[in-house]
Each structure stands twice: as structure tokens, then as C-alpha cells.
Structure 1
Amino acid sequence: MKTTVYSVLFFLLSFTLLSCGNDDTPEPVIPLEATLIQDLAAPNDVIDRTTGQVTQARPFIFFSLETQSIVTEAQDWDIAFKGTTIRVNSAKNVTAALANGIFEELKEVPASAQFATDTPTTFAIPTGSGAGWYNYNSATFTVTPIPGRILLFKTSKGNYVKMEIMSYYKGNPPVAQINPMTTPSAHYTFRYILQPNGSQKF
């Protein structure tokens, strides 16, 4: 009788351990969080408005999407800002595309996204009002992000990013409060989500 009881107990214990060892319950998915960058200053060249000539050249400000920080051109940067222009690091095969939609609702890279890199004569993110990420209002002399315009990047490490530029003015003021003569411009506020595993899903 004791032998039978011990055998049953051994069987139950073995089954319990085996069940625990073969637990196929998937790991919980941790939601990706957006990184918010505020007032990244990237002033444009100083231009003589009467002649159109550059009187003071200013450098691009280089940024690593992977480390969430401003870096130098000699370091591993992904994108660079100056005025309304955004460059990508073509030497490191960084590419960019434009998409339309709501930032929170864009859950993956659209199949229609056309990624490109900079060339000596073109930018992957086009410049000019309405062409890339912003509109320029010639009546109020203000630059505002195009509503619903999302920037997509593939970083130097092969990871995908979705980005929304929220403001071009220091302090992210409401559009109605922007004074182009006194409100500092070329101060980017933007948010982005980086998918660190190479997946195109956000």
C-alpha cells in the first residue's frame, strides 16, 4: 500500500514539474513608449534678405535616434537638423519616408512607404512648403507641421522609427501665439517611437 501511495505522489510531482518546464505561455508584450524631444535648437544660416546671400553659415545638429541624444558628425548619427531641413546619414544607409495618418494609430510601416536616402542634390525628406514635414504661411511668416504627416526612418542599426514633429518654435507655443519676429524658430519639439528589434511594427 505504501509503495502505491509513493508511486502516485512521484507521478503527480513529476507531472507538475514537467508542466512547469513546458509552459508555452507567451511573454507579455511590453508597449513601446514614445520619446519626447523638446526645443532641439538647430538655427538656419543667417541670410541677407535683400541679396539672398548667406552671411553666416551654421552647422547641422546631429541626432542619434538610437541613443536619444545630440551627437557629433563623427559619431553614429541618424538624422541632422538645420532650419527646416532634415538630413539622413546616407553614409550609414539611414533612409526615410513620409506617411500620412495619426501617430498613435500607425501600428506598422505602411507597405506603400517609399524609403530613400539623401543624394548630393536631393533630400530623403523633401524641403519646401507642403513637400516634406511642414507648411509655410507667407501671410504670417510661420512654419507649422503638416497635420497627420509622419516621418519614418530606418536607422543605421536597421531599426524602424516613426516620428511626429510637433513644433518648430521654442516652447511649443500654440500657433496663434507665434510671433515670427520674436518667437525663436528652429527649435524642434518632436516625439518618436523606435522599434529596437528590426520589426516594422510599432
Structure 2
Amino acid sequence: MNTLKLTPFILMSLCMLSCSDDDDVMALAEVESTTIENLHAPQEGGRGEPISGSFTKFDFETGQITDSDTEWDIAFRGTTIAVNGGTVTGTIDEPLRTSDAGITLVSATFEDITEIPADTSFDQDSHEGFAVPAGSGNGWYNYDFTTNILNPIPGKILLVETTDGKYAKFEILSYYKDAPSDIDPFQDESRYYTFRYAYNPNEGQVTFN
């Protein structure tokens, strides 16, 4: 008799738990996808002189450039990309690393990366150098010395574990102001990044769908 009386209550409880689970799934925020245009990453020096100048810091959570000393994920200066994880490299004017973010460069198309692969190993900056390799052909770009033009290498995608343990992917589309399709290295200003990214704002979620 007691069992029969409790059965509707149990069924109702199970239904409520099921609805609660559905609500949790539906409560996930949407993946954020956008393109950043003309992120200026100037530097001083070069041509035999020490390179210096502040890095331009970017935060995926806000989708904005930031002046914060702590709330940033990646930073740009010239062709160099820093990540807010690890230690300083010894480069002049670089920001302090205050978090445990990581970054890795993979060969794929932006669309094909629908999630962070389970075996992904994220690298951090260190005294040995930046996690994103520097130099033409070594990381994200090629530089043609005959034309003085720098182009992103097609199919090079950067995956990021952010300062708060979330995930992003981004692809650099251009290094010149307004992303010209026909680059004139003597007219088009360089050190202006255009890149597209996808960022999953949900903790523990590695997908970009």
C-alpha cells in the first residue's frame, strides 16, 4: 500500500530530475564566433636593433583588446604571439605570465576543427622561447624576401586553452591593415592582424558547434 502511494511521487520526482537535466543542457551558452579586424601589434627596433615595445593583449572571454596585467589570453607584437602561461622568455617589454593558459599550432582547416582533440598538448612560453614558433615557415606565416610580403600559412590553426580553462581556436587571415587581397608592401601598413576565432564560454566544453 505504501509503495503504491509513493509511486506517483517517485515518478514525479524522476520527471523533475529529467527536466532539470534538460534545463542544464539548454543553459549552455552558445559558442562565440567572430572576426577581429586590424588588431594593431606595433614594435620598435629591428633591422639589427633590439626589438621592443608593448604587446597588444587579447581576451577571448570579452572578445576585446585589454590593458589588464592578468586578464588576457594571447598577446601580439610584430609577428610574435605570446600566451598567458608559463614564464617570460627574456624578450624586452614582454608581459608577465600570470595564468596557466596554453596554445598549440595545428595543421587543419578552421571548419574541420569542431572540437579540441583529446590528445591535444598545449604549450606555454618559457626561457627557451615562445610557444608559437617564430620565423618564416616555422609557425603561422611565410615571408617572401623577394617581394617583402608576409602571408599566413594556409591551414595553420591555433588552439588555445584560456586563462579560465576554456577553449578557443583562431586563424590569422592577414597581417596588413584592412586585409588587402593584393598586398603592396610599400603602401599597405603591416602589423595589423585580422583573425577569426571561435570560443566556447562553457566550462569543460571542448566543442565549437
**Shorter-chain TM-score tier:** 0.7 to 0.9
In 2 relative to 1, CA 25–58 (structure 1 residues): closer, same or farther, beyond 3 Å? closer
Where does 1:79-158 land on structure 2 (aligned, <5 Å)?
A: 79-90=74-85, 91=97, 92-158=99-165
In 2 relative to 1, CA 24–60 (structure 1 residues): closer, same or farther, beyond 3 Å? closer
How far did 1:25 drift? 8.9
Residue 182 (1) aligns with residue 187 (2):
yes
How far did 1:23 drift? 5.0
SS in 2 for 1:76: coil
2:53 is aligned to 58
Distance in structure 1 (CA, Å) of the matches to 2:19 and 2:70: 44
Distance in structure 2 (CA, Å) of the matches to 1:86 and 1:108: 22
**Structure 2 unaligned blocks of 5 or more:** 1-7, 86-96
SS in 1 for 2:71: coil
2:88 is aligned to none
Distance in structure 1 (CA, Å) of the matches to 2:65 and 2:126: 23
Q: Are the aligned partners of 1:166 and 1:190 in contact in 2 as well (CA < 8 Å)?
A: yes
1:14-61 per-position Cα deviation (integer Å, ceiling 9, x unaligned): 9xxx598565894557752312110000112233x3xx114x732111
Q: Are the aligned partners of 2:56 and 2:76 in contact in 1 as well (CA < 8 Å)?
A: yes
How far did 1:63 drift? 1.2
RMSD of the TM alignment (CA)?
2.5
SS in 1 for 2:116: coil
In 2 relative to 1, CA 158–30 (structure 1 residues): closer, same or farther, beyond 3 Å? closer
Residue 45 (1) aligns with residue 52 (2):
no
2:90 is aligned to none
How far did 1:82 drift? 0.3
> Which range moves more in the overlay, 147-156 or 19-28?
19-28
SS in 2 for 1:157: coil
1:77 maps to which of 72, 75, 85: 72
Residue 194 (1) aligns with residue 199 (2):
yes
Which residue identity is paired with 1:40?
A: L
In 2 relative to 1, CA 190–136 (structure 1 residues): closer, same or farther, beyond 3 Å? same
How far did 1:112 drift? 4.3
Residue 162 (1) aligns with residue 169 (2):
yes
1:8 is aligned to none
Distance in structure 2 (CA, Å) of the matches to 1:79 and 1:101: 20
Structure 1 consecutive aligned stretches of length 4 or more whose deviation exceeds 4 Å: 18-31
Distance in structure 2 (CA, Å) of the matches to 1:40 and 1:23: 44
How far did 1:84 drift? 0.3
Distance in structure 1 (CA, Å) of the matches to 2:78 and 2:41: 6
Please give the TM-score of this superposition, normalised by the length of structure 1.
0.80
Where does 1:5-44 land on structure 2 (aligned, <5 Å)?
A: 26=22, 32-44=31-43
Distance in structure 1 (CA, Å) of the matches to 2:190 and 2:65: 18
